[in-house]
Structure 1
């Protein structure tokens, strides 16, 4: 019953709806007592030879009225109880989704996508059942059972009622033992479902890789192991769950035996009539639902409790990125001073950035180059406040970036990552994602800046062309240019291109960079790249190696150093000449 306490905040909030629902459940329970009573009266009238057509018509009218009343009352309680339960699922789903959007990078490294999806679907459905089926089953079983027991005592015989109820305490003992086992096993089953869900999501996302390497059969076999595990865990749940009904049937069987044996003696002694005994047996039959409902109730509650605990674990997670209550809300603007003495990722002792200091004047362009894994993307992650735990200070304008509100900081930065992500909508909606109210003219302007406009016009639906999931229908270069256009649409104070031109040809790259240089002459740009041609126009270029600056200067100065930069430049120039000669 602990789940009811956990959801107490919601029941208090929606107490009016639940009170109305339970009130009409009580009315249903009362009306349900009418048919067995009428049956007993009719039997006694037939036995006494007093049944007439008028009497039979009267009882039939009462039965029809009782049926109509039950329909109306059931409709009202269903609207109030099930409708309110849907509100709980909506509230929890909204809270959970909002929580996901507020979590940091560490959170999404800790939890897999499929696992989060399972929490947001399967677990929330189980919790909703507590607020719907759980409340209904609890109230209905107590009301129906209580009303039936009262009717048995009032309309038949209180002594026979007490005797028939003797076995029922055994049910409470059995339900407690089985309920505890069910909680543990269902939590394990939900965890197995999360793993299977994650496997499904991962395989669908990586289907091209799976097919390329011919691993379809192996992946199917791996998925079968996951599903077998889910089935096995659920079998253990059903093994416990299936014990409820036999236990209840056995206990109710004892009640029936006691009723028939002792009730028969009461009829023989004249204590009750044969019609009363038939009514009593009908009431015993009505008790079967409340008894079975208890088993169903424990199933619902234990499933809901296990799911609520799993969801609450997510909601209890806190972001490492804490926004200052008195944060600066004015847009970021001005010079950038990057002074990071040391940074290492959580749970990783190796140093990712070490004594990395540089400055960028407003309106200038900074180039970052270095081998893969040197630390270029890590520099950007700190700028975007994906991590705050570093020694040092990053200043934008006259304030540390940690003193700005996240909205003020991130709305002033346009970021194009290495792995471009496009939404499953049109090209137009992808470009103006940050501001859906922007005009078509502004969308076209951004597309022209990134040299993608002509490509878009050549597509079947132009700017209304659907790109497919993650932009599957587009080439790598097209996705990169649309991603850059999306970053430019907000006219950011700082534009970050993280190897965002790697899939475009040299001519297109030059056109994009020239357009950016002209359009963003008074705004700051940082370009990380493997191709020297992407950064050679920058006011300063920094060469990163193992999280440290090993070379710095403009293009001419770096060439004169005869270091890594010059070596890579000459190598790439030679490759370009060879490719040109081959063509």
Structure 2
């Protein structure tokens, strides 16, 4: 089945190790199956007084040897299988993370972090348990049953009695057919519920500061409790079904023991079977009770892991909406960027975020992009990065259709600094040198100086080794933006895109950063997206967007020469705001 491809491929690659482990467990079961036979002989010998002290010692040593060899064989087999299970867990989590790296923005916009973590944690763990504990218990159960039946025949127990005794066990396949699909469906509900709960926990913990600020701890608790209650309901639904199934299996084992006691006891009284054989029979049937319980555990486990495996396979089978075309080639250089009649709507929406947008960024020039919130500025940046796929032929870099170049070669040549640049929970130096792990501290200091972050870093006791809190909360909003800007400058990209990345800094700091940018980016292409005119007024060309369309374009002086235009109007509003500040 396609849904089991991930698991079957792994089992095939490690078939020899699994086979070795299974053989070790089989041998341990054969070893253990000898115990009732020896006990039967001892019972007959004691009844007939045909064994003495030396025989008792010999049989005791044999039993001890069996116990030791069983422990060694089963232990080695179980260790091998458990190690293989852990390796599967490690490899699959790596595959999932790699898939996350490949998937496009539209996937993550519909998935919460908690749900994504649930794939890595809950689902992979469930499958790992199935191919470790499940394989061990299945092998142990199946071959324990076979070993017990063979040994019963060897011991001299009549075939008729064996058939009558194990007759209740014939009902097991029918129970599996009935309960299996029901347990699987309910297991799927539980896994989905756990994913939702993980997402809720991640959201509530991530927003704990907002919760405290608004004093709505009780509301947050109630929302989380509702999610947990939903998981509890799904789990109880599963437990009721799986518990009934697991209770019926030991009942069948006990019923089998009752039948053997009635029939076997009668045959022993009639002299058709020795007392030792009857004792061996009861021991063998008791030994079969454990495998029955294991079969129930394994079936429950397999159904739960089947649901998890199906979720993981669906994730790994997803194809990124933005990916390299078959004929894609590496981009040699960014060169001139030409946007031609670009019209774009986000997936799942009919509203056009950009409408017939056309402009050019000549190589080495700086272009400013300004407009109201929702005018399409950030959308354009995402299309240049191919975070979303633009229409074929609408954007060309160095004369090549951007959809026909490889994603890696394109993105390696672009530095993108968003408004809310994400900082990792490492030290400042590591965040700045994110694109170049081999960077020297001098290079890191230079990038920090260009972003006017160096003075702030020097004020920290640990300097560049200062560890940041989650999402960089150790720093202020302006410091986080400047750290993100330093990271973009550290890359020294052919095209630098600043997406409102100085909105949290004051006017004087912004002016200093812009001065550094003009010097550092001389001869290099730069796209500055902003709300504030002060961020773009030095640009070679300024493009004004409104409702996805270009409504004005030109230099600062040219745009200001149209006093009734949207650019000049925005300039006056912002100047009045500064005067009243």
Same fold (TM over 0.5): yes
Check conservation: 1:343, 1:391, Cα contact below 8 A.
Answer: no
Q: CA deviation at 1:228?
A: 0.6
Alignment-derived partner of residue 264 in structure 2: 263
Please say if 1:381 is aligned against 2:349: no
Contact 1:340 1:393 in 2 (8 A): yes
Could you list the runs of 4 or more consecutive aligned residues of structure 1 that deviate by over 6 angstroms after TM superposition? 1-6
Which string of whole-angstrom CA distances, capped at 9 and with x for unpartnered residues, describes residues 46-95 of structure 1? Answer: 11112311111101111111111112112210122111111211221111
SS at match of 1:233: helix
- 1:111 maps onto 2:111 in alignment: yes
Report the Cα distance in structure 2 between the residues aligned to 1:246 and 1:39, rounded to whole angstroms. Answer: 30
1:233-272 paired onto structure 2 within 5 Å? 233-272=234-273
Q: Does 1:468 align with 2:466?
A: no
- Counterpart of 1:162? 163
Aligned to 1:488: 489
Distance 1:272 1:76 in 2: 38
Tell me, yes or no, if the aligned pair for 2:393 and 2:402 is still in contact at 8 Å: no
Question: Could you tell me how far 1:325 is from its partner in structure 2?
Answer: 3.5
Q: Greater shift after overlay, 498-507 or 339-348? A: 339-348
Structure 1 distance, partners of 2:331, 2:387, is 20
- Following superposition of structure 1 onto structure 2, how do residues 321-332 of structure 1 map, counting pairs within 5 Å? 321-332=322-333
Name whichever of 147-156 and 536-545 sits farther off: 147-156
Tell me, yes or no, if structure 1 residue 52 matches structure 2 residue 52: yes
State the partner residue of 1:548.
Answer: 549
Deviation at 1:389, TM superposition (A): 4.3
Deviation at 1:576, TM superposition (A): 2.0
1: distance between equivalents of 2:338 and 2:571? Answer: 28
Partner of 1:572: 574
Q: Which residue of 2 aligns with 1:211?
A: 212
SS state at 1:338 partner: strand
Cα deviation, residue 391, structure 1: 6.1
Structure 1 residue 343, shift from structure 2 partner: 0.7
> What are the equivalent positions in structure 2 for 1:62-211 lying under 5 Å apart?
62-155=62-155, 156-211=157-212
CA distance in 1, matches of 2:400, 2:411: 15
Q: Superposition RMSD on alpha carbons, in Å?
A: 1.5
Which residue pairs with 1:500 in the alignment? 501
Secondary structure of residue in 2 paired with 1:337: strand
User: Using a 3 Å threshold, how does the CA distance of structure 1 residues 365 and 6 change in structure 2: closer, same or farther?
Assistant: closer
- 8 Å contact kept, 1:168–1:251: yes
SS in 1 for 2:491: coil
Inter-CA distance 3–17: structure 2 relative to 1 (3 Å threshold):
farther
Residues 576/6 of structure 1: CA separation in 2 closer, same or farther (3 Å cut): closer
What corresponds to 2:318 in structure 1? Answer: 317
SS of the residue aligned with 2:352? coil
Shift in alpha-carbon separation, 1:3–1:378, aligned structure 2, 3 A: closer
Question: How high is the TM-score relative to the length of structure 2?
Answer: 0.97
Deviation at 1:392, TM superposition (A): 4.5
The whole-number CA distance in structure 2 between the counterparts of 1:340 and 1:159 is 86
The 10-residue stretch of structure 1 (355-364 or 567-576) with the greater mean CA deviation from structure 2:
567-576
Residues 378, 236 of structure 1: CA spacing in aligned structure 2 closer, same or farther, 3 A cutoff?
A: same
TM-superposed deviation, 1:131:
1.2
Aligned ranges 1:221-300 → 2 under 5 Å: 221-300=222-301
Q: Which runs of 5+ in 2 are unaligned?
A: none
Conservation of the 8 A alpha-carbon contact between 1:18 and 1:80: yes
**When the two structures are superposed, what TM-score results if normalisation uses the length of structure 1?**
0.97
Q: 1:434 to 1:174 in 2, by over 3 A?
A: same
Change (3 A) 1:38 1:3: farther
Q: State the Cα distance separating 1:204 from its structure 2 match.
A: 1.5
1:407 is displaced (CA, Å) by 1.3
Report the Cα offset of residue 460 of structure 1.
Answer: 1.7
Bigger Cα displacement from structure 2, 324-333 vs 188-197: 324-333
**Alpha-carbon distance in 2 for matches of 1:410, 1:446:** 20
Q: Structure 1's 353 and 569: CA in aligned 2 closer, same or farther, altered over 3 A?
A: same
Distance 1:533 1:2, change over 3 A: closer
Q: Separation in 1 of the partners of 2:369 and 2:342?
A: 18
User: What is the rounded CA distance, in whole Å, between the counterparts of 1:571 and 1:512 in structure 2?
Assistant: 23
**For each residue in 1:12-62, what CA deviation from the matched residue of structure 2 results, as whole angstroms up to 9, or x when unmatched?**
111101110011011100110122122111111111112311111101111
C-alpha distance in structure 1 between counterparts of 2:175 and 2:2, whole Å? 18
1:450-475: CA deviation from partner (whole Å, max 9, x where unpaired) = 10001100012100001111001110
Residues 158 and 3 (structure 1), Cα distance of their counterparts in 2 relative to 1, 3 Å cut = farther
Structure 1: gaps of 5 or more residues:
none
Judged with a 3 Å threshold, the aligned counterparts in structure 2 of structure 1 residues 27 and 212 are, in CA distance, closer, same or farther, namely: same
Secondary structure at the aligned position of 1:110 is classed as: coil
d(CA) in 1 for partners of 2:89, 2:102: 20
Contact in 2 for aligned 1:340/1:353 (Cα 8 Å)? no
Q: Does 1:537 align with 2:530?
A: no
Q: Is the 8 A contact 1:342 1:392 kept in 2?
A: no
* Deviation readout 1:552-583 (Å, 9 max, x if unpaired): 1110111111211111212222222333xxxx
